Amino acid sequence: MSSDDGIPTADEIVTLDDVEAARERLSEVVHRTPLDRSTTFAETTGAASVGLKLENVQRTGSFKIRGAYNKISRLPAESRERGVVASSAGNHAQGVALAGRLCDVETTVVVPEVTPAAKIDATRGYGAEVVVEGDIYEESYRHALDLADEQGLEFVHPFDDQEIIAGQGTVGLELVEQYPELDTAVVAIGGGGLVSGIATVLKARDSDTRVVGVQPEGAAHAKPSLERGEIHELSGVDTVAEGIADTRLLEKTFAVVRERVDDVVSVSDRETSAAVALLAERAKTVAEAAGAAPLAAVLSGAVDVEDEHVGVVVSGGNVNLTEHAELAQAGLSELGRYVEVRLAVADWPGDLAAVTEVFETHGVEVERLERARRTATDDPNRTPITAAVAGSGPDHLAEVLAALDALDGVAVVDDDLRE
């Protein structure tokens, strides 16, 4: 029965049986993605162990194919003949497109104008018709609903659907089988489909297993919803983690999350960028910001995991190389391992030799060293120089800056290590 406030119960939405049935449908379609145990992250956080569930190496680069295929494969024949429509800024689009191709169903995906060209090309590559409509996702969503009404298409919701949730829950089935000692699972929340599916499995298998959801600070709607006992919608979002930049839960995901998710925490974009960098460096895996957010929550201490066996779901890796490089660089800066410094030198280019010697002596990696554009605040009798260098940590880079400042004719004017 529905709860007193009219919202259905979690069992009315999705059960363990639904997820297990979804796994049967998906058995020949999706990869059983690896669980990579990280000694480094366990030592850093004090956890007994940390297991990374690598959905970034799933088909289409994220978990979304699981729910999309489970939904489309179960449509009645008449709906499959007419085709389906979806709205997405990226991963759901590719999941729907591939699922449609595998099921021989025509798919249309509406994306906002800000969607990267690489994601649009990938979606078309899987066989979907892509319609670019709207400045933001909500406008694309409304346009997709209009197309569904006008053309009689089945709308494939990105998260608020029983079959979608059940499909995403198959990640949880694999997680408990690969990691039987699991104490806590940490999962990103956008609209809540993935965490709802995983929590359904984990709580059915062992009610003591903790499930923690993670959102960006700039899109943190779930915690207020749970605290108020009703869906809280944000007026806007502001985060680098575009894959989980939703403004709200909806009825089905809210019902499941409030019953089966133990806590929701938020992380900053800088903490997320640091997790992107560390996943590349330590785990040798490429993650988009949304996929790295759960690890950011663990590494930042937002989730206390001391002495626990912790499963971190890396939900996606659809990020172009330029964006990944920028995220990683921002992450190294957050970790105190990268600094951009502005110098003022009395002798240009004579003092460059002394500056370069400091870098060589201290063993830093120089990414950039160049004459800078003069600004109104620069000393007119000095030449401005900018340098970008990477080191082993904040103490190392602080030593480098102090050595530069001690040079005759050279002054450190500004650096982002000191912010």
Asked if 17 and 101 sit in the same domain, the reply is no
Residue 5 domain-assigned (yes or no): no
Q: What is the pLDDT of residue 3?
A: 59
Residue 141, judged by CB atoms within 10 A of its CB (0-12, 13-18, 19+), counts as buried
Q: What angle do CA 329, 331, 333 make, to 5 degrees?
A: 75
Query: Which CATH number goes with the domain that contains 134?
Result: 3.40.50.1100
User: Of 3 and 263, which is predicted with more confidence?
Assistant: 263
What is the spatial distance between Cα 112 and Cα 132, in angstroms, rounded to a whole number? 6
- Check pLDDT > 80 for residue 170: yes
Pull the structure tokens for residue 53. 């569930």
How much of the chain exceeds pLDDT 90, in percent? 91
pLDDT digit string, tens, across residues 119-129? 889 999 999 99
What is the spatial distance between Cα 177 and Cα 74, in angstroms, rounded to a whole number? 26
Give the pairing of strands 154-155 and 129-132. Answer: unpaired
CB 411 within 8 A of CB 344: yes
Asked if 343 and 251 sit in the same domain, the reply is no
Domain count, the chain: 3
Residue 81 domain-assigned (yes or no): yes
Asked if 313 and 213 sit in the same domain, the reply is yes
Asked if 213 and 283 sit in the same domain, the reply is yes
- Span 79-89, average pLDDT: 94
Q: What is the pLDDT of residue 2?
A: 56
- Check pLDDT > 90 for residue 136: no
Q: Is 235 designated active site?
A: no
Which of 73, 87, 315, 333 is catalytic? The answer is: 315
Query: Which CATH number goes with the domain that contains 387?
Result: 3.30.70.60
pLDDT digit string, tens, across residues 214-246? 999 999 999 999 999 999 999 999 999 999 999
User: Which residue, chain included where needed, has tokens 């997790």?
Assistant: 275
Q: What is the pLDDT of residue 71?
A: 98
Last residue of a domain, which of 297, 332, 367? Answer: 332
Which of 53, 64, 71, 119 is catalytic? The answer is: 64
Position 325: which residue type? Answer: A
What is the spatial distance between Cα 302 and Cα 293, in angstroms, rounded to a whole number? 11
Asked if 195 and 308 sit in the same domain, the reply is yes
- Span 10-20, average pLDDT: 98
Pull the structure tokens for residue 368. 């950039």
Residue 103 domain-assigned (yes or no): yes
Asked if 298 and 218 sit in the same domain, the reply is yes
Q: Name the average pLDDT for the chain.
A: 95
Confidence band for 4, pLDDT divided at 50, 70 and 90: low
Q: What is the pLDDT of residue 89?
A: 74
- Span 108-120, average pLDDT: 86
Nearest to 150 by CA among 122, 125, 131: 131
**pTM given for the model:** 0.94
- Span 275-285, average pLDDT: 98
Asked if 121 and 223 sit in the same domain, the reply is no
Taking CA atoms, 349 is separated from 358, 359, 382, in Å, by 15, 16, 11
Asked if 150 and 242 sit in the same domain, the reply is no
- For the chain, give the number of residues: 419
Residue 1 domain-assigned (yes or no): no
What is the spatial distance between Cα 334 and Cα 339, in angstroms, rounded to a whole number? 10
Nearest to 96 by CA among 56, 135, 138, 87: 87
Asked if 325 and 219 sit in the same domain, the reply is yes
Pull the structure tokens for residue 119. 């994601």
Q: Is 315 designated active site?
A: yes
- Check pLDDT > 80 for residue 188: yes
- Span 150-179, average pLDDT: 97
Residue 321 domain-assigned (yes or no): yes
- Check pLDDT > 90 for residue 116: no
Asked if 210 and 321 sit in the same domain, the reply is yes
Asked if 197 and 86 sit in the same domain, the reply is no
Last residue of a domain, which of 332, 359, 390? Answer: 332
Residue 290 domain-assigned (yes or no): yes
CB 156 within 8 A of CB 97: no
Residue 74 domain-assigned (yes or no): yes
Domain interval for residue 194: 10-59+164-332
Give the pairing of strands 210-216 and 184-188. Answer: parallel
Residue 2 domain-assigned (yes or no): no
Asked if 55 and 96 sit in the same domain, the reply is no
Last residue of a domain, which of 271, 298, 332? Answer: 332
pLDDT digit string, tens, across residues 288-319? 999 999 999 999 999 999 999 999 999 999 99
